[in-house]
Amino acid sequence: MEVERETLKVTIPRSVLSRMIRGVSRAIPRHSINPALGCVLLEAKGGVLSAVATDLACFVRIAEPADVRKEGLALVPAGPLERAVASKKDGDVLLAAMGNSMMVSDEEVVVEISGRDPEDFPNFPPCPLPSPERWVETDVQRLRTAIDRTSFSDHEDPSRPVYSGIHFAAGDGVLRLTGTDGWRIARDA
């Protein structure tokens, strides 16, 4: 009998993990014939935990520093993962994947979630960087605040995809964000 080994093991603050899952979950389609699209791909590597989700038109990736004890990948259904993390008390959460199963635990409770093979997840497309003269440097907290101020007005109606995002415009060393749902507009510079 072969003993199943951990394929990923990481500790991260619950509040950080919860924010990551909520952030990438916006890319998950409500209905899909591909079950992998209802999942979050977690990758632990080099002291960083990344969460990725997609509807195949848009890929969202959020990465945060974490205590990575075992590098690897896990593909976990977004809803059960979000509920498991929300049920934990504040503090650190341990994520441990064994095969296609994910354990989410704190000091009191362990929740086991059946996942999928990470190979089922679509490949994240390469994203070439623009030339350095187009770069805008900004503080991470400032960027988060700008996104929070504009994302409330983006639209989720699939029949009007032009309103389903935030427009980022960079120029003269300033990053401008704009979001609209066709009735409201939110800008931040």
Distance separating alpha carbons of residues 95 and 76, to the nearest angstrom: 11
Q: What is the mean pLDDT of residues 143-153?
A: 80
What is the structure's pLDDT at 168? 83
Q: What is the mean pLDDT of residues 136-163?
A: 74
pLDDT band at 112 (very low <50, low <70, confident <90, very high): very high
Q: What is the mean pLDDT of residues 32-53?
A: 92
CA dihedral (110, 114, 120, 124) positive or negative: negative
Q: What is the mean pLDDT of residues 105-123?
A: 89
pLDDT band at 2 (very low <50, low <70, confident <90, very high): very low
